[in-house]
Copies of this chain bind each other. A is one copy, B any other.
């Protein structure tokens, strides 16, 4: 399309619909074999298929309005299962104020849940990946490490106390998108770049870095307490969990330094929390440098598991 309002390769796509407004679109497919771990119900799988798409809208500051679903069903799926899938899809949609307005079902050799999202937005409210400038502050909307730990528990029976286990596993089975935060951030005009972290924090940093032509110096690892405990008990490098986990639906963003306080406050007013973890640099590398460690953050992403 000539002069696309959102560049190819960003989290969402868009079409101008007049009056400086955009139709914003996104499609992504959940495939049971690689996206549905053992222990996840059909209801949860369907809800997750919606939430993972909504997370991309959240990271762009766009509210989803309508959802279409295309289901590929195996022969093992019976009517009761389809009803459960429909309830999960609807639950995911309604949590974020959207509606499932259509879809199709067909036959497939593995369960496929293909979700398409539609919403409209003011062009100026949409946060792209490409606007970060050296000196901008780097922030995240939440802490990392729980989901990869939860996946290790579900896939490999990794050890955790009952209480920690619950939190970690729930982060896998019931993910949440940062919609309130994303909509608030879009309105601040303080955000220069944003992306969702579903492919892992490290991957997200490299994506912004390459789209914006900057580097990053990360001076703080945004690690969840439960992930810290899990890493210690299982003798895992905690940085590995935080940086290369994935399937975590936070927003990774850069903020104009003079507007940091106002931005942090705006997000807090909506019940969210912004954590500053570093800054954008002229130097193109993506580095981690805290009191205790110094290392290169590699452009490695989350690899889907395969059972």
The residues of A with any CB-CB pair to B shorter than 8 Å are 1, 4, 8, 12-15, 17, 21, 23, 25-29, 31, 33-35, 65-66, 68-70, 72, 99, 101-104, 106-110, 112, 114, 116, 118, 120, 304, 306
Question: B23 to A102, Cβ gap below 8 A?
Answer: no
| Set of chain B residues within 8 Å of A118, measured between Cβ atoms | 15, 23, 25, 118
| CB-defined contacts of A35 to chain B, threshold 8 Å | 106
Report which residue of A99, A102, A104 has the largest number of chain B beta carbons within 10 angstroms of its beta carbon.
Answer: A102
Taking CB atoms, residues of chain B closer than 8 Å to A25 are 66, 68, 101-102, 116, 118
Residues of B within 8 A of A27 (CB): 27, 68-70, 102-104, 114, 116
* Bound-complex Cα distance A33 to B12 (A): 29
Establish whether residues A112 and B72, one from each chain, have CB atoms under 8 Å apart when the complex forms: yes
Write the nearest CB–CB distance from A72 to chain B, whole angstroms.
6
Contact of A101 among B1, B17, B69, B106 (CB under 8 A): B1
Q: Given the interface contacts A108-B33, A109-B109, does A114 sit within 8 Å of B23 by beta carbon?
A: no
Q: Are the CB atoms of A109 and B110 closer together than 8 Å? A: yes
B23 engages A112 (CB within 8 Å): no
Shortest Cβ distance from A10 into B: residue: B102
Give the CA-CA distance A25 to B17 in the complex, in Å: 14
- Name A's interface SS: strand
Contact indicator B101/A4 (Cβ below 8 Å): yes
As for how many copies of this chain the complex holds, the number is: 2
Interface-centre pick from A14, A21, A70, A306 (highest chain B CB count, 10 A): A70
For residue A157, give the distance in angstroms from its CB to the closest CB of chain B: 24
Once the chains bind, are B70 and A8 in contact (CB under 8 Å)? Answer: no
Q: Is the CB of A101 within 8 A of B8?
A: yes
Instruction: Given the known inter-chain contacts A101-B4, A108-B110, please indicate yes or no for A65 contacting B29, CB distance below 8 A.
Output: no
Tell me the bound Cα distance from A72 to B109 in angstroms: 12
Bound form: Cα–Cα A21–B69 in Å = 23
Residues A70 and B29 in contact, CB atoms below 8 Å apart:
yes
